[in-house]
């Protein structure tokens, strides 16, 4: 896919999905080789999708084990059963030049959502009294005012996709929330179940509602699609590729509030699917950029450790992909309706903005001047995050969940906020933006439209002037960002 690897600074028209499929889909001979392999091992081809470079197979566990020379074991987590591999799978020689990954042999959950509840904070969906005391919760509309989002735009003509790997959507909660914000006719929300994934209510309903309520409040005239899958390597990858190759809905913005440590290792579990998944998903993000899709991803809620207890810095994936806009988190001090200060989010109890330097992805060209610190092996890695917005649950977002109002934070709130802003920007600019990185890092006027956050820390890293591993380049000034992008 050399065209997708070419210099992004050379402005060129974004590809159409059908053109992408024609130029970069799987080769006919490779698809035929997989079909022959399946037939020889008693496996059934359920779906063959050259555009997504994907073939879905089904078979008995014993046949799958023989086909891929592996062992499958059953394990249990709570009330759910899943498979793990006893040893890494192998590909026959005939497929090694055609197949880049095998997914679905390992079905244990790997991805997690990034929301943090603040149960003792009283939310308010209506305007709060203006007092000298710090404001403790914000509606997305209040944040749009504080962050100076373009008032002339509402996301009209845009479609925002949101990936969900568990939980369910409540139309009643969503409609009540939007009406309380002053939108009598809430936008429609379309549901897509990837691979017939079960959509069942769980504690992660909170993530689903947080994402859609924030994004829709910021871009109330946009169209929205929730793509539900499962929190497995295959489920996560399939959800992303389904969005990228959706020729019917053609979303222009993708928001992801789920992730995992990029170098995650679990004792007793073979991680070859995780390694392959990172590369395949990054390839999907390359394709998204070529199509003009802007992908925004939460950077994580466990600070510089990303929740791993080895005392070393870690970053989250997919935020560490160099082809996504990674969103970190901040804490606000707002008094009498005015923003007094903003700092990197760290509650001192283990919840903090994710950020650091990737060990899996090299530093991209656009970060050459960003002063990203070297990683521990002395190599130059991708710096995370790129940008930031409110994420602290102590000054969090007012949302509706299970018929009640709550306050919630997390970098998973910053991502849909940015997604809604980008939908507004694309509406006014009249063209998709795709990867914004070269503009954000390489254009002084655009970078100046981000308000630098220079205080706070996420554990091992401290915020400071310019890019930093806590808050990236800063939080948005929406009007300034729109004005700067108009000049390019």
Residue 126 has pLDDT above 60, yes or no: no
**What's the pLDDT score for residue 77?**
77
Query: Given 106, 207, 301, 438, which residue is catalytic?
Result: 207
Write down the pLDDT at residue 247: 92
Six-digit token string for 377:
């092996």
Whether 211 sits among the annotated catalytic residues: the reply is yes
pLDDT(302) > 70? yes
Highest mean pLDDT among 30-44, 59-73, 412-426: 412-426
Last residue of a domain, one of 95, 121, 154: 95
Average pLDDT, the chain: 92
Q: Count of domains in the chain?
A: 2
Residue 420 has pLDDT above 50, yes or no: yes
Q: Does residue 125 carry a pLDDT above 60?
A: no
Same domain, 71 and 184: no
Q: Are residues 119 and 229 in the same domain?
A: yes
Average pLDDT of span 203-219: 98
Q: Binning pLDDT at 50, 70 and 90, where does residue 135 land? A: confident
Whether the predicted pLDDT of 293 surpasses 90:
yes
Looking at residue 11, its pLDDT comes to 54
Judge whether 104 lies within some domain. no
What pLDDT score does 385 carry?
Answer: 99
Q: Are residues 50 and 190 in the same domain?
A: no
Most confident of 115-124, 265-274, 379-388: 379-388
Contact by Cβ (8 Å): 125, 455:
no
Residue 10: predicted pLDDT: 46
**Do 65 and 158 sit in the same domain of this protein?**
no
Co-location of 273 and 408 in the same domain: yes
Asked if residues 191 and 226 have their Cβ atoms less than 8 Å apart, the reply is yes
Q: Is the previous residue joined to 318 through a cis bond, with omega within 30 degrees of 0?
A: yes
Residue 8 lies in a domain: no
Considering only CA atoms, which of 272, 283, 359 is closest in space to residue 315?
A: 359
Q: pLDDT, tens digit, for every residue of 38-96?
A: 999 999 999 998 988 899 999 999 999 999 999 999 888 778 888 888 899 999 888 98
Residue 268 pLDDT greater than 70, yes or no? no
pLDDT at 215: 99
pTM: 0.92
Measured CA to CA, the distance from residue 432 to residue 83 in angstroms comes to 41
% of the chain with per-residue pLDDT over 90: 81
pLDDT at residue 26, as a whole number: 87
**Distance, CA of 151 to CA of 144 (rounded, Å):** 9
Predicted pLDDT at 25 = 83
Which of 220, 127, 191, 169 shows the shortest CA–CA distance to 400?
169
Active site residue 306: no
Question: Average of pLDDT values for 284-291?
Answer: 95
Which 3-state string (H, E, C) describes the chain?
CHHHHCCCCCCCCCCCHHHHHHHHCCCHHHHHHHHHHHHHCCCEEEEEEHHHCEEEEECCHHHHHHHHCCCEEEEEECCEEEEEECCCCCCCHHHCCCCCCCCCCCCCCCCEECCEECCCCCCCCCCCCCCCCECCEECHHHHHHHCCCCCCCCCCCCEEEEEECCCCCCHHHHHHHHHHCCCCCCCCEEEEEHHHCCCCCCCCHHHHHHHHHHHHHHCCCCEEEEEECCCCHHHHHHHHHHHHCCCCCCCCEEEECEEEECCCCCCCCCCHHHHHHHHHHHHHHHHHHHHCCEEEEECCCEHHHCCCCCCCCCCEECCCCCCCEEEEEEEEEEECCEEEEEEECECCCCCECCCEEEEEEECCHHHCCCCCCCCCCCCCEEEECCEEEECCHHHEEEEEECCEEEEEECHHHHHHHHHHHHHHHHHHHCCCCCCCHHHHHHCHHHHCCEECCCCCECCCCECCCCCECCCECCEECHHHHHHHHHCC
C-alpha distances in angstroms, 108 versus 65, 226, 247? Answer: 17, 22, 30
Tens of pLDDT, residue by residue over 396-407, are 999 999 999 999
Q: What is the pLDDT of residues 87-101, one digit of tens each?
A: 999 998 889 888 999
Q: Does residue 34 form part of some domain?
A: yes
Mean pLDDT computed over 351-361: 98
pLDDT of residue 7: 41
- Check whether 173 has a pLDDT greater than 80: yes
The answer to whether 425 and 485 have CB atoms below 8 angstroms apart is yes
Q: Is 106 part of any domain?
A: no
pLDDT class for 167, splitting at 50, 70, 90? Answer: very high
Annotated catalytic residue: which of 65, 154, 211, 438?
Answer: 211
Give just the sign of the alpha carbon dihedral 113, 114, 117, 122: negative
Whether 117 and 80 have beta carbons less than 8 Å apart is answered as no
The Cα–Cα gap between 300 and 327 comes to 9
Q: CATH no. for residue 170?
A: 3.40.50.200
Distance CA 154, CA 159 (A): 12
How many C-beta atoms surround the C-beta of residue 252 within 10 A? 25
Domain membership of residue 90 (yes or no) is yes
Q: Which of 166, 412, 452, 468 is catalytic?
A: 412
> 49 catalytic, yes or no?
no
91 domain residue, yes or no: yes
Q: What is the pLDDT of residue 120?
A: 56
Return the pLDDT at 132.
60
18 falls within a domain: yes
pLDDT of residue 228: 98
> Do residues 473 and 411 both lie within one domain?
yes
442: tokens are: 């390489």
pLDDT digits (tens, 9 = 90+) for 443-455: 999 999 999 999 9
Q: Is the same domain home to 389 and 323?
A: yes
Assess if residue 107 is contained within a domain: no
State the residue range of the domain holding 253.
Answer: 112-486
The confidence band for 281, taking pLDDT boundaries of 50, 70 and 90, is very high
């Amino acid at each position: 896919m050399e065209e997708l690897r070419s210099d992004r600074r050379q402005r060129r028209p974004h590809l159409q999905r059908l053109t992408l499929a024609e130029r970069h889909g799987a080769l006919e001979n490779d698809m035929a080789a997989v079909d022959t392999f399946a037939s020889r091992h008693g496996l059934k081809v359920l779906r063959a999708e050259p555009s997504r470079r994907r073939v879905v197979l089904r078979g008995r566990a014993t046949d799958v084990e023989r086909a891929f020379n592996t062992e499958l074991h059953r394990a249990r987590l709570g009330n759910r059963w899943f498979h793990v591999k006893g040893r890494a799978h192998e590909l026959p020689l005939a497929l090694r030049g055609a197949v880049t990954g095998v997914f679905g042999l390992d079905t244990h959950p790997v991805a997690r959502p990034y929301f943090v509840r603040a149960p003792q904070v009283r939310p308010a969906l209506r305007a709060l009294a203006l007092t000298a005391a710090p404001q403790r919760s914000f509606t997305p509309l209040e944040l749009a005012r504080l962050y100076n989002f373009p008032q002339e735009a509402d996301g009209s003509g845009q479609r925002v996709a949101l990936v969900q790997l568990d939980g369910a959507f409540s139309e009643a909660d969503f409609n009540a929330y939007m009406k309380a914000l002053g939108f009598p006719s809430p936008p429609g929300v379309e549901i897509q179940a990837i691979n017939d994934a079960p959509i069942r209510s769980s504690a992660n309903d909170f993530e689903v509602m947080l994402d859609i309520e924030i994004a829709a409040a910021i871009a109330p005239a946009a169209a929205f699609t929730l793509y539900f899958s499962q929190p497995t390597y295959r489920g996560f990858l399939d959800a992303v590729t389904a969005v990228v190759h959706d020729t019917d809905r053609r979303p222009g913005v993708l928001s992801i509030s789920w992730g995992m440590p990029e170098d995650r290792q679990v004792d007793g579990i073979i991680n070859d699917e995780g390694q392959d998944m990172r590369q395949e998903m990054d390839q999907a993000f390359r394709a998204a950029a070529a199509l003009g899709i802007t992908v925004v991803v939460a950077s994580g809620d466990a600070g510089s450790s990303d929740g791993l207890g080895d005392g070393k810095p870690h970053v989250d994936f997919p935020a560490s992909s160099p082809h996504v806009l990674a969103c970190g988190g901040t804490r606000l001090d707002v008094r009498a309706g005015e923003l007094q200060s903003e700092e990197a989010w760290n509650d001192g109890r283990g919840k903090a903005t994710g950020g650091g330097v990737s060990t899996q992805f090299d530093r991209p060209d656009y970060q050459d001047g960003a002063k990203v610190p070297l990683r521990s092996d002395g190599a130059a890695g991708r710096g995370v995050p790129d940008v930031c917005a409110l994420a602290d649950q102590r000054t969090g977002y007012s949302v509706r969940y299970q018929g009640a109002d709550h306050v919630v934070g997390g970098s998973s709130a910053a991502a849909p906020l940015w997604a809604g802003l980008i939908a507004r920007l694309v509406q006014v600019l009249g063209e998709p933006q795709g990867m914004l990185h070269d503009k954000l890092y390489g254009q002084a006027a655009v970078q100046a439209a981000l308000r630098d956050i220079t205080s706070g820390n996420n554990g091992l890293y401290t915020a400071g002037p310019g890019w930093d591993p806590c808050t990236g380049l800063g939080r948005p000034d929406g009007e300034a960002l729109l004005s700067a992008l108009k000049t390019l």
